[in-house]
Amino acid sequence: MSCLKEVPTLRGDNDTEWRKKVELTFVCADLDWVLDEPQPVRPTEPVRETTDDDAAWDKKRGDYAPLEMSYIIDNQKWVNANKKCMAFIKNTIESIIVGSIAECTSAAELLTKIKSQFTGSSKIYATQVLKQLVTEQYTGGGIKEHILRMSNMTAKLKPMDEDLKIKPKLLVHLVMASLPKEFETFVMNYNMSPETWDIEKTIVMCVQEGDRLKASHGGTLNYVKDHKKKNYNQNNKSSPSKPQGKAPHQHQRQQ
């Protein structure tokens, strides 16, 4: 029963994770065999030939009887197991997705159609996550939360495909690349150092560097996305791209 509670609802972007949990649940419930075994086929009933006497016919019927009984037992067992698996699968899928899948007669067929339907969407989702990961930029706020958000992105990729797993060293480099130019010296020192950090140490060191930068700027520091800052003059009174105004207006302000 604990396995049942851990199965997420299939939304379309979590097909791999959902499938693993479903298959584990079937193993725990001793129902996984129905995914590999086709429905039993009824044995061919004997036919009395014109050459068969009563003894020969009785023998044919006698030989068929245990085959028929075995089929009835095995088929009922398969039908019950398949019914449970089908119901479980359908009840762990969003209703809109269930309606888009063609009717199936077996749990194995249903899983195959689900996999086929969501392979493309999983690839699209993985591409979106990767794009977000490599373009992520820290623009202020909690730097720890920023790094954890990037770490969570990599965790989303692993269940989709083991080949998409982002290694810790690469994640650290992606984090460094996401930092603004105020961290330029900090990043340079890391790249020149022979030491490599895991994500936990990266968080600690980045938080310390962020605190140091704030202290050096009087306790506050604003990071601007894409390293673009508004071009104000030193007195921060006006922008060079904005007209200074007419002299009489300036005289009125002075008064």
Shared domain check, 207 and 159: yes
pLDDT of residue 117: 76
Q: Dihedral sign for Cα 179, 184, 188, 190, please.
A: negative
CB 144 within 8 A of CB 207: yes
Shared domain check, 148 and 84: no
**Does residue 217 belong to any structural domain of this protein?**
yes
Residue 163 has pLDDT above 80, yes or no: no
204-234 confidence digits (pLDDT tens): 999 999 999 988 887 766 765 544 443 333 3
- Count how many domains the chain has: 2
Residue 24 has pLDDT above 80, yes or no: yes
**Does residue 79 belong to any structural domain of this protein?**
yes
Domain boundaries, position 28:
2-119
